[in-house]
Structure 1
Amino acid sequence: MRVKTGIVRRRRHKKVLKAAKGFRGASGDVFKQAKQAVMRAEAFSTRDRKVRKRKMRQLWIIRINAAARINGLTYSTLMNGLKRAGIELDRKVLADIALNNAAEFAKLAETAKAAL
């Protein structure tokens, strides 16, 4: 007996076309092109989740460095001083303190200077 793929194929196509919603041209409504476009988009999104983490770390380092230079230190000397002083704050928290609470960051910078 022959097995027909009608409902299975329709469901698969609908799933791909739903994922391709909003794509321009044939990529949004022709199954073959939509499938290729969705596969490409998924590959980029997987890659760019890693890239986003990298970019955020770069931004935190830039902010910490700018605040450190205001307090007469460089980024590397600040981080070395904090490590020697036993202060274990990650870059995300340090960047937030540098951006939103300059007085507290100045205290951390003085602690780092004293530890060097």
Structure 2
Amino acid sequence: MSKISFVPARHRRRKKILKLAKGYVGSKSTIYKTAHEQVMRSLQYAYRDRKQRKREFKKLWISRINASVFAYGIKYSSFVHGLKLANVFINRKVLSELAIHNPDVFVQYVEL
């Protein structure tokens, strides 16, 4: 019976990690052990920051809408409440873009 060799699989796995670690400084891009640690940490950061990016953009849109609505003497919360009462369902991203690029259209929503 022949001996089973895992060398090709191990080589592919190590090559994949070192490819992901390309661009890292020092031993983090050349030595497998440190490269693997850094790649795992980088993937954790990427996962966390994908969630965080959504939060940051939501905050940005709300602050833009708040600044635009404040010019008309209305609070953000009462503006959103008024939109819901008027059955206008536009998300914050679109409202933010309207406030910046089309203020004349945005005023129509404020007047609701």
TM-score by length of 1: 0.91
Larger % of helix: which? 1
Question: What is the aligned partner in structure 2 of residue 100 from structure 1?
Answer: 101
After superposition, where does 1:1-116 map in structure 2 within 5 Å? 1-111=2-112
Higher relative contact order (CA 8 A, sep 6+): 1
Deviation per residue, 1:84-111 (Å, 9 max, x gap): 1111111111111111111111111011
Residues in 1 aligned to 2:80 and 2:35: alpha-carbon distance in whole angstroms? 49
- Structure 2's unaligned 5+ residue stretches are none
Which runs of structure 1 show a deviation greater than 4 angstroms over 4 or more consecutive aligned residues? none
Shift of 1:4: 2.7
Amino acid at match of 1:97: L
| Structure 2 residue matching 1:86: 3-state secondary structure | coil
| Number of residue pairs aligned between Structure 1 and Structure 2 | 111
Residue identity (%): 41
| Structure 1 residue matching 2:73: 3-state secondary structure | coil
Residues in 1 aligned to 2:39 and 2:4: alpha-carbon distance in whole angstroms? 28
Residues in 1 aligned to 2:68 and 2:51: alpha-carbon distance in whole angstroms? 27
TM-score by length of 2: 0.94
Deviation per residue, 1:40-84 (Å, 9 max, x gap): 001110111100000010000001001001122111111111111
Shift of 1:8: 1.6
- Structure 1's unaligned 5+ residue stretches are 112-116
RMSD across aligned positions (CA): 1.0
